[in-house]
Structure formats: C-alpha cells, structure tokens
Amino acid sequence: MARYEVNRLIQDMSKKEGLIGRVIDTPSDVFEEYGLTSPERAALLEGTPQALASIGVHPILQMQYLMYKNPEMATHVSIKDYAAMSKGGA
C-alpha cells in the first residue's frame, strides 16, 4: 500500500486548482511539498502502471494519476486494457 502522502497527492490533483499543471511543470517542487521519498518521486516521474504499482499505488489511483498527466489516455484505454498494462502485458 502506498504511503498516505502519495495517495493524498493523487487525490489532491482533482481537488486543488492548478495542481495538475504544477505536477507536470514542476514536479520536484510538488513532491517536496508532499514529503515524498526518492523511490516515490521516481515512480511518479516514470508514470507507468508498473512504476506506480511498485510503490503500492492502488490501481484506481494509478488510473487517475495517469489520466491527470495524460488526459487523452481515457479515450484509448479501457479498464480491461489497463489491468493488462499494469501486469506488464498489452
């Protein structure tokens, strides 16, 4: 299970105006504000399902994070596709 700080950041991205843009433009600053560890920062920067899973991010929060950073993903990936991606397939 991901640490609270990682979960809070991903959830805050939908609640705090401008946070998505800040994560995209100046992720180091945001990660510092949330007190993320080096492995957490690296996984969020990599932003793959496998990287997010490696730090224990729940699959639903993984999908949210990836869609916040890449909104067009929602039009190309189904839940079934995502499940395969997170296991290293598809």
Q: pLDDT tens, 54-90?
A: 999 999 899 899 999 888 877 776 666 666 666 665 4
Q: How many domains does the chain have?
A: 1
Please write the tens of the pLDDT for every residue from 2-26.
Answer: 899 999 999 999 999 999 999 999 9
Q: Which long-range contacts (CB under 8 A, 24 or more apart) does 44-51 make?
A: 44/6, 44/9, 49/82, 49/85, 49/86, 50/86, 50/88
Boundaries of domain holding 32: 4-86
pTM for the whole structure: 0.81
- Give residue 2's pLDDT: 85
